[in-house]
C-alpha cells in the first residue's frame, strides 16, 4: 500500500528521523476518559513519521465536535475552524500550498449534516485532503442528539420516541461523491487503524476514512459487535486487495455475488469453493463493487473494514497548477503594466 511516491516537502537536506513523540503537542488532552478518540489520536501520531514529511509541512484542520479538538494535540500546524467547514479551508490551503500534507478531522454531524455539501464537493474535485471522519452515531459535544448516522428509530435527547430519519451510509456517500480513496476502520483496532491511516496518508487525492468510534458517554457500545476482539472475526470482513472475501473465526465463510446482490456463503457447503468468492479490487475504475461493499451491514453481512476504493486521478491542486503553468508557458509570466495598459486606450493632454 505504500507504493505511491510522495514528495516529502520542501527540504533537500536529509530529514531527521521523527517518532510518535515528535507529534505530541504540549496541550492536555481533554476528551472523556474512555473515549475512542484517544486511540485515534495515538495511532495518528504513531503513523505520522512514516510519510516522510517534515513536521512543519503537515497541517491538521478540523471542524466542530469532539473530533475537532484533535489538532490541538498534534505538534504540527493546526486549525480548529467552524462547524462543517473544515474541508473548505483545507481546499483553499491545499490549492495555494500544494506541498503541504493536509488532514481534515471531522465527525458524523460535522461532515454529513452541517458540512455535507463541502464533503461532496471536496471529494468530487479530488482535492488532496485526507479526511478522517469519526463516526460515533451521535452528537457528543452538544450532549447527545441524533446524528445523520444514528440508526432509524434511535431514542436520543432530541428524539425521545425515536428518530424518523433514514441514516446515511458515509462510505456510500463518499463513493458516489467520486472520492478517490475510501476506507473504514475502528478506533481500537490498532493494527488496522494504523494500516488504514497509513494508506490514506500515502494516497494523493480526495480521501475519506470512516473510523467507527465509541462515544462511551452518549452512545456507548454503538459498534460493540465489531469493536470487541471476541465477536470481531465473525462480524467483520477484512478487505484485502486482490484476495477473495473470506471471514469468520475459522475462515470458512465468504461473500459471493448473485447478479448485483452479495450473499454470505459457507465454504465447502453446496460445493462452494474460494473460486466462487468475490475478489477484492480496491483499484477498480468502476465504483460499483466498492458501492456494493459499502451497503453490506450487520446482521445480514459482516461489516467490511479496510480500503474500499483507491484510484488515481489528477488532483485539484495539480490541475489548478497545471492551468497556471500552461498560461505562463503560453503568454509568459503576467506583466502588470501590459495588463493595465491593455485594451483600447487613448491619450489626453
Interacting residue ranges for ligand SF4, rule: CB under 6 A: 31-32, 35, 37, 66, 136, 140, 215-218
**C-alpha span between 49 and 45 (Å, rounded):** 8
* Site membership for another protein, residue 131 (CB under 8 A): no
3-state SS class at 176: helix
* Site membership for another protein, residue 55 (CB under 8 A): yes
Is-contact 70 41, C-beta < 8 A?
Answer: yes
Nearer to another protein, 122 or 150 (CB): 122
Nearer to another protein, 49 or 71 (CB): 71
Chosen from ligand SF4, another protein, none, partner binding at 35 (C-beta under 5 to 8 Å by type): ligand SF4
Chosen from ligand SF4, another protein, none, partner binding at 121 (C-beta under 5 to 8 Å by type): another protein
Write down the least CB distance from residue 193 to ligand SF4, Å.
16
Nearer to ligand SF4, 196 or 214 (CB): 214
Nearer to ligand SF4, 37 or 128 (CB): 37
According to CB under 8 A, which residues from 308 to 337 bind another protein?
Answer: 320, 323-324, 326-328, 330-334, 336-337
181's enclosing H/E stretch is strand 181-186
CA 31 to chain CA mean position, Å: 21
Query: What contacts 51, CB < 8 A, 6 or more positions away?
Result: 6, 8, 58, 101, 201, 202
Using CB under 8 A as the binding criterion, the count of chain residues that bind another protein stands at: 63
3-state SS class at 314: coil
Nearer to ligand SF4, 140 or 306 (CB): 140
Q: Considering only CA atoms, give the Rg of the chain.
A: 23
Chosen from ligand SF4, another protein, none, partner binding at 81 (C-beta under 5 to 8 Å by type): another protein
Is-contact 262 196, C-beta < 8 A?
Answer: no
> Which residues pair with residue 77 across a beta bridge?
59
Is-contact 226 236, C-beta < 8 A?
Answer: yes
Q: How many Cα atoms are found within 13 Å in the side-chain-facing hemisphere of 22?
A: 14
Q: Contact residues for another protein (CB under 8 A)?
A: 9-10, 25, 27, 54-57, 59, 61-62, 71-72, 74-82, 85, 87-97, 99-100, 117-118, 120-121, 320, 323-324, 326-328, 330-334, 336-337, 339-341, 343-349
Amino acid at each position: 500500500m505504500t507504493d505511491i511516491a510522495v514528495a516529502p516537502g520542501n527540504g533537500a537536506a536529509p530529514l531527521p528521523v521523527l517518532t510518535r513523540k515528535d507529534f505530541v503537542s504540549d496541550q492536555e488532552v481533554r476528551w472523556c476518559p474512555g473515549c475512542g478518540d484517544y486511540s485515534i489520536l495515538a495511532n495518528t501520531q504513531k503513523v505520522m513519521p512514516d510519510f516522510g514529511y517534515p513536521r512543519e509541512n503537515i497541517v491538521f484542520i478540523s471542524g466542530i465536535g469532539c473530533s475537532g479538538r484533535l489538532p490541538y494535540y498534534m505538534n504540527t500546524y493546526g486549525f480548529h475552524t467552524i462547524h462543517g467547514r473544515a474541508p473548505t479551508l483545507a481546499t483553499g490551503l491545499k490549492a495555494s500550498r500544494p506541498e503541504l500534507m493536509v488532514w481534515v478531522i471531522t465527525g458524523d454531524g460535522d461532515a454529513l449534516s452541517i458540512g455535507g455539501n463541502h464533503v461532496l464537493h471536496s471529494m468530487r474535485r479530488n482535492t488532496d485532503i485526507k479526511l478522517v471522519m469519526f463516526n460515533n452515531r451521535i452528537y457528543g459535544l452538544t450532549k447527545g442528539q441524533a446524528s445523520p448516522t444514528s440508526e432509524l428509530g434511535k431514542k436520543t435527547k432530541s428524539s425521545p420516541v425515536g428518530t424518523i430519519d433514514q441514516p446515511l451510509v458515509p462510505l456510500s456517500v463518499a463513493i458516489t461523491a467520486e472520492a478517490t480513496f475510501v476506507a473504514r476502520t475502528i478506533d481500537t483496532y490498532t493494527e488496522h487503524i494504523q494500516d488504514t491511516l497509513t494508506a490514506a496518508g500515502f494516497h494523493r487525492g480526495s480521501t475519506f476514512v470512516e473510523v467507527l468510534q465509541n462515544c462511551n458517554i452518549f452512545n456507548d457500545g454503538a459498534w460493540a459487535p465489531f469493536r470487541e476482539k471476541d465477536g470481531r472475526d465473525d462480524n467483520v470482513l477484512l478487505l484485502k486487495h486482490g484476495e477473495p472475501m473470506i471471514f469468520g473465526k475459522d475462515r470458512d465463510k465468504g461473500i459471493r455475488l448473485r447478479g448485483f446482490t452479495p450473499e454470505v456463503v459457507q465454504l465447502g457447503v453446496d460445493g462452494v469453493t474460494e473460486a466462487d468468492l468475490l475478489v477484492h479490487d480496491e483499484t477498480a475504475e468502476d465504483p460499483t463493487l466498492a458501492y456494493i461493499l459499502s451497503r453490506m451491514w450487520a446482521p445480514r453481512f459482516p461489516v467490511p473494514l479496510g480500503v474500499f476504493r483507491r484510484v488515481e486521478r489528477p488532483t485539484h491542486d495539480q490541475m489548478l497548477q497545471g492551468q497556471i503553468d500552461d498560461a505562463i508557458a503560453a503568454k509568459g509570466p503576467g506583466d502588470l503594466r501590459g495588463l493595465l495598459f491593455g485594451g483600447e486606450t487613448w491619450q489626453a493632454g
